[in-house]
Amino acid sequence: MGKYYALVAGLPALSVESQKLPYTQEEFYLELQEVLNSRDKRLLDWLRLEEENRELLDLHEQELLLTPQTEDEEAELPPTSLPLVALRHIARAAASGARAAREREIPAYMQAFVHELYYKPLDEEEVVPVSPLSHEDRLAQLYYAEAAASSMSFLTDWFRLNQTIRNVMAVYTCRRLGWPVERFVVGEGPIEDQLRTSRAKDFELGESLPYIGQIIQIAEEEDITRRERMIDLLKWRWLDDETFVKVFDMENVLSYYIRLGIIERWLKLDERQGEERFRSIVHGLKRESNASLDEFRRSTKK
């Protein structure tokens, strides 16, 4: 990975309370294409795949991967960064009982997901494994699994943090509604097994996941907007810790890209409740959770 002294030195400072962006995530991404080396561009693209995952789910829900479209219908389709021709080739091959050749322009996990969605065996006696997860969760599971194999520990740990947050939120929702936990926990491994089976408050993960207490505190928050803000504050502090001594490294460039996305999302709140609501949430959380966030920071350095 390269060092990006000039790039980082020229970046405007960002705060979790920022009410104006120096540029959007997309603008920053385009700027980085002129600066990053090819390896670091690929690392950045991993962060952008979450948005493409949502686009893929939308294409499936609108039945646009198998159903033939007229030229007029194609012209009216919402814009997508995904290669529709390649995706349709995978889907149609699967629907005919075949597996399409590897498509280089599509991540392997995404190709596997599309194949799973549409696969119909030619042999009626063939047993096809069916995931108990929803389409969204299954795609996330495949995405996190492939991302975990990244050679960059920052990305691996970032995706692990996001997966754990997602899973703990799912477990608490299942407990409240009486739903089967195993249908909503994403991923395979010791941590996921504990989340599926443990009845302890911290899922007996206190030693292996120093931030589990923070995530549980967030999961217990009933106000949805406040809970989302707490998640973003936790992520922001995690980014601070991970990039503290890597100011000019690729980790900090990726961190800046992520932070832009966090701020951008909150700036899109309904303007009627926007700034006043936003600031009241942040100030309240600062008063209540500053001590626990500091404890989280200390524990992650152990």
Q: What pLDDT, on the 0 to 100 scale, is given for residue 296?
A: 46
Pick the closest to residue 101 from 111, 109, 110 (CA basis). Answer: 111
Going by pLDDT thresholds of 50, 70 and 90, the confidence category of residue 270 is low
Average confidence (pLDDT) over 280-295: 49
Pick the closest to residue 257 from 110, 155, 107, 148 (CA basis). Answer: 155
Cα distance between residue 182 and residue 202, in whole Å = 17
User: Is residue 277 pLDDT above 90, yes or no?
Assistant: no
User: Percent of the chain scored above 90 by pLDDT?
Assistant: 53
Cβ 47 vs Cβ 258: under 8 Å: yes
Q: pLDDT (tens digit, 9 = 90+) per residue, 128-172?
A: 777 788 899 999 999 999 988 877 899 999 999 999 999 999 999
Q: pLDDT (tens digit, 9 = 90+) per residue, 237-252?
A: 999 999 998 989 999 9
Q: pLDDT (tens digit, 9 = 90+) per residue, 99-129?
A: 999 988 899 999 999 999 999 888 777 777 7
Q: What pLDDT, on the 0 to 100 scale, is given for residue 53?
A: 93
User: Is residue 10 pLDDT above 70, yes or no?
Assistant: yes
Q: If you search the block for the tokens 């969605």, which residue do you land on?
A: 117
Cα distance between residue 265 and residue 41, in whole Å = 23
Q: pLDDT (tens digit, 9 = 90+) per residue, 77-102?
A: 666 778 888 899 999 999 999 999 99
**DSSP alpha helix (H) spans, the chain:** 5-9, 25-32, 38-61, 71-75, 84-95, 108-118, 135-147, 153-177, 190-197, 212-219, 224-243, 250-267, 274-300
Angle at 234 between CA 230 and CA 239, to 5 degrees: 145
Give phi and psi for 249, each to the nearest 5: -90, 170
When comparing pLDDT for 133 and 216, which is higher? 216
When comparing pLDDT for 34 and 69, which is higher? 34
Cα distance between residue 42 and residue 104, in whole Å = 13
Cβ 250 vs Cβ 41: under 8 Å: no
Cβ 64 vs Cβ 38: under 8 Å: no
Decide: residue 129, CB within 10 A, 0-12 exposed, 13-18 middle, 19+ buried: exposed
Q: What pLDDT, on the 0 to 100 scale, is given for residue 129?
A: 76
pTM, two decimal places: 0.82
Cα distance between residue 144 and residue 140, in whole Å = 6
Going by pLDDT thresholds of 50, 70 and 90, the confidence category of residue 289 is very low
User: Is residue 264 pLDDT above 70, yes or no?
Assistant: yes
